[in-house]
Structure 1
Amino acid sequence: MVSAKVLQLVLLACIASALAARADLPVKPVNLSCMAVQKGAIISPVMVCEWESKQPQGGQFTTTYNLVVRVVGYRDYTGTAGPGKTSAEVNLSTFPHFMPMEIWVEATNELGTAESEHLNKDANSFVKTNPPSNVQVISEKTFTKSLLVNWTQPLAKVHLELTYEIRYCSDGCHQWDYVPSTEIDKNIHSFRLQDLTPYTVYITQVRCKNVHPGYGYWSEWSNNATKRTPEDRPTSKPDLWLSIDEDESNNERQVKLLVKEPKYSNGRIIRYDMKIQDLKEKDKSGADQWEKITVSEPEANSSSGHFTLLKQIHVADNTHLQVRVKAVNSVGKSPEATLVIPKKSHVLPPVRDLKVYPDWDKLMVMWNSTDPLEYEYVVEVSDGQQMDWQKEGQSVRKTAVRGYLEEFVRYNVSVYPIYRHGWIGKPARVEAYLRQGVPLDGPSVTSSKPGCFNAYLEWTDIPEHRRRGFITYYTIFYSDGNERHFVRVPGNITSYTLKSLSRNTRYDVWITASTINGSVDGFNHSFHTLKYAPGEIEGIVVGVSLGFLFVVILTMLLCICKKDVIKENFWPQIPNPGESTIGNWSPDYPLKAETPNENCLSGISVLDVDVCDGKSVFEEDKASLPLKKDKYLSEEHSSGIGGSSCMSSPRQSVSDSDEGGDVADTTASTVQYSSVVASNGYKGQTPGSQSQQAVFSRSESTQPLLESEENPDTLASDGSRHCQRFPRQTNFTASEGNADFNQLEMEEQNGLRSLEFCPLVEDSEHMMPADGQSETWASAPASSYMPQLGGYRPQ
């Protein structure tokens, strides 16, 4: 029982060991290849073979590889590869040309041996020769489009027949052109390259191999053989273009005529023949005269962007100008290139829907056009300092800008349609960047004009070469120290007015410029708002002045409209006897002049004093002349004709304010005045030889008495302020048709300048003159007032 279990365990161990050993069995190599290379003028006898090993790594047993090379019918050659190697060499002593060979690899370890597939081929099928030597290219002047290539065969024909492969390209081009193998014969030593471009440098290489298909290996390419094709007449037109600058002041255009060499110049361009003519003068004499312009820039070509300035001309705005140019080399002339500069008012329409966008490291240009007369298109690219152009065919609607373009540089891309016969159309322009970045500098505020509640800001535009992209918008930040605000404005403006600011406040402001790839801050700027807005103080002053003027004008208007009311309130009515209406009547006594009775003037004293002297008189008489507040309505106190009119006082017969307003109204309406007509204040009245009719006048005025007559003390006080002499106003009226009175003697009146009546109270005995005045009063002349006998005449 125990022995059976032991046997099972031993069996299992053997099986496990067998499985492990099976995993370490050698695996046959694959992809066996062998090569014999040329050494000098013969094939080296050393054959090198390579293979791939599929043996797992880390096995218990080491696997070795043996290379076996059998020259059929002759002998076997072996070679051993070291551990981990997959190649081996076999020295055949002499390479067996044209003999069959069998080659294989054996993988061997303790568990067994595995062989690779056997290679059964001719010995020459394993040969790799050297490249052809002494490769030369010959240019023949009579063959302007071909080059002759010569070389030396690397191995003698007795050992191996070879075939060749030729490739070539123009200088600077990175794409090879191969000559078809069907056009190349075996065992040749030269070949002629055809359909080449004249006056172009070509690089040529040659290699060789066993002539039998599938036999042998291609040799390495020979060294470069370089040669230029012969020169030929230009076969394409020169690339003619122009640059136009408008001159509005002179109604003309400044035109620069530019040209690039023809694409197929076929030689070195030595000059350009140019003819410029007005289309109106095309048929006139001298049309065959061409201007010859020598080229100063050597070998400039359109692919490099070099161009020649032919001429700078001035073209009137109302002129059609045709320009024709031919390129000339040492062999001949090119076809003619033509451009027509149209009148400024007759420019043909532009292309539509122009778009320019970046595509990796290229700038793509797209446009649309449906006009069948458009012959070709000119794509012009300028960065502000340099300009280049390229021409596209009639069917092209999308192209990439050729030439080197820089990142973060703004380019102006224009597309001009060229119509038939060279007529130039109006350009369509777009600005573009190959790649945009963050601006290098931020905008700087150059000036600020703060107001009371706003501030006008101006900032510098970022220089074009520092923008590195399109400015999409500006952000204006401003702060008063407590709060920060910002305003976003378009990128095409450089000024803005901040609003809703606080008066008399300091603000800090800075501006941020942004592109699609980032933003940059500008420099900080400070300003202080005004305490008063411009014109505010002037407005206040003007407003107040206008208000005051309005009040003054309104007051004046009120005064004008209410002048009667104001006059009654501020200026009492002063009676003017000269303006009163006096009734005239005839007396009842004879017209004989009578000597006036001096008794009638007994109560009248005439005093000739100055107003200043009257002050002392009135002050001394204040006590003896009290103002009576009685109403003088009786006959004896009136100045009627039948009474003592000479004794009547010219005082106002109105009581004081304490007697009532009704009484004052009554008395004011019943007061009457009488006028004493004197003969110029002379003492005596002597009628002349002619009888004069005495005329008595009675005042019909109902005006109240003067306040000065009611209050003589007031008159005295006023008189003290006006020290002047008032002449007496004589109110003397005579009947119509009466003669003047004879002038009386003036000798007795030398001291009396005027006859004045002083206001007296009714009782003359109360008027007691002072000592100094009694003499003056006594010497006063008697009044010539004539007696009134008939009383008042009815009016």
Structure 2
Amino acid sequence: MNIWSSKLHLATWTVMSFLCVFSDEVMVRDSDLKLCEKDKRVCVTDLRDCAPQPPASIQKTLNMSCCYQISQSSITCEWSQEFNSYTEPDVSLIFSSEDTIISCQGIFNPAAVLNVTARIKNYMMGREVWSQPHTVFLYDAVKPSQPVLTVLGSTEDSIVVSWRSNVGNGCCRLCYRVDNTHTWTQVPGYVPARRDETLTYTIRDLLTFTVYRAAVACREDSGIWSDWSSDVSTRTLDRVPSKPPEVCYRVETTDSGGSFLLHLMWKELDLRDAGGRVLGYQVSYKPVKKQQLQERIIQNVTDVTAFLVVEEGNCSVTVTAFNTAGCGPAAHLRIDTQARNTLPSVTSLWVSSSFPAINGLLVQWESPTASPSVPPVSHLAVQWRHETRPSTSRWTTEDNKITSTVIQDVDPDESYLISVFPIYPHQQCGPPQFLPASLQQGALMEPVQLKVGGVTKTTVTVVWVWQRKAGPIRVNRYRVMLTKESESKTLSLWPPQWQLTFNNLEPNTEYSLLLLADDVSRNIIPVRTDFDEMPAVATATPLLLLAVIVFITSILSRTVYKSYFFPPISSPQGSTAGQWLMDPNHLKTAERNLLDIEAFQVTDILGQKSLITVCPDSQPSSEDLRGDTSLLSISHLIIKPSSLELDPDYISDAPVITEDRLVSLQSYHADYTVSCHLPDTVCLNKDSCVADTALLHQTHEGNSYFPQKKEESGFSRETALKCNFCEFIPNSHCAYQLACEAEYVSSFLGKTDV
């Protein structure tokens, strides 16, 4: 079944390949005809056509029509016929009459009636076709002469033409087209015509300032049309632009302080939007300042961009399109240079071509990413112009959700500069992204000099350079790939980007870097990531940091808890007396005053030596003595004279002191020495004082003790300290001082601060 279907399809294709429609128009002048010798009623252009015609049954009927041109004394016939051949056949006309023809040069006259037969010969196929005779009444087949058309004038949208009619009781028809195009448009209806009448017609609904071509043809009542007249051309007039241009602006800073560069851009108005052609644009600028009149600055430009140096503050800007008919409506802008925003541009711009399948350029991009500080894009403007002719720019606008467009009607032999502008609210436009392109090569940029810019343990940075494309190869996209065995990472390259970074790679690993043009590799670069020298440290670092944080937190919490629940209590060890008493180096001190004897002064009238006995006011227990030496304090000592009898007048205010036992100094392992220091000028009995002091030292070194008395809890020793009282100069303030030098007195006094 499939075999027979294939054969049938092949046969059908072969038949259709050789099947063609032949349509031709043949004009024969009477001067070209020859009379056949055997048949005096036939005139032919080729004597071979004088052969007998085939039977009428095999002659083919053709859709033939003929017309008679009196001025040229000729007949033109046309028809259509199908032939199974690629070659054009040879066609000839055979004219026959019912009457005998004397000369073929006179057969074409208005009163003649002729039969016309067409002979179609195909020498390659070896076949010929004879048509059935077509009867022509030359009077009714007269073709009117060609009229002459002239232009009377034009307006903004119309053309007025005129011609002279050469037909009687006939009609004429008009057609027109835009110059440099091939499509004709016929005016609806016909214009009635009479012979030798001058006719006028207005062709309306035309484009302004556009060149048109027009022609006219006429016919008689017989229905035979004359040839079209020669083309006439004229241009419609200008019209005042009907719409303002769509303007957006961008404010840029300059090197000079206090001034800014105002960049204005607008879409070029086409003929319909502008109401006609546009010769240029008028841009005016005026600063807006309070209590100050400023003149408006006006400049004319022919491009769709303008640059103005403006002052800081508010300003008013207008843009108006104009032509020979005048200026159209203006686009108004009120700009505050201090409130300018840095607006982003589109990204990933690329241009590709599918010529000749599609006669256009595909432009693709990505809109700016929305952010709280940047307003959303309202729409996008796509501009393209010849690289060598900037004045030929054209625009189109796209919705903010559209990311591609196709530019139609571009010249295959030209290169274009394509720009994409994001338009923001309040007629602000972001910076453009542009790319050169052509139908033959697509985008005219390519990345070169690909190399590794930097390597770490987990990243590889790639850099490259964009340059003008050198070859005719079309590339829809460029990519760079980092691959390792079966794994790969791919990133796309877009101008003007010049570097990118591959992240999350493995340390000390060999990779291959590839530059891909579509899916074809351009070059391969080997690259290895850095060696991870301290993986253990890197792993342990978070744990160590966590441990330090826990330790510091525990210390701080312990300090806080202790200060809150256990407030600090003053300790005797921290006092000055306690530190002095706990100092083990008291023996190194040359002399220290233990007691100030001034508090215990008595008046010695007799001037005799008196003995002062130092003893505690109460006897501590043995456990107290062994426990804390602080029980022995100065506040518990009582000093009294032992054998001195004083005059009551001198001691009337002295308190009554009872004698008590002294604690033995030796029991606390303290060497106790008492010495009396009196100045030589006032001491009356200095020798006695020194002798007694020596006797005291001798007694202590010989381990002889003062009288002692036992207690119930143990025993205690009573130690009597003896010193001479020196009498000061009479009639002066009498004072007695006991200066006692103590060694290891800390054992005796305990922790009491003196």
Report the TM-score range of the alignment, normalised by the length of the smaller protein: 0.3 to 0.5
| Higher radius of gyration, 1 or 2 | 1
TM-score scaled by structure 2? Answer: 0.44
Q: Which has the higher strand share?
A: 2
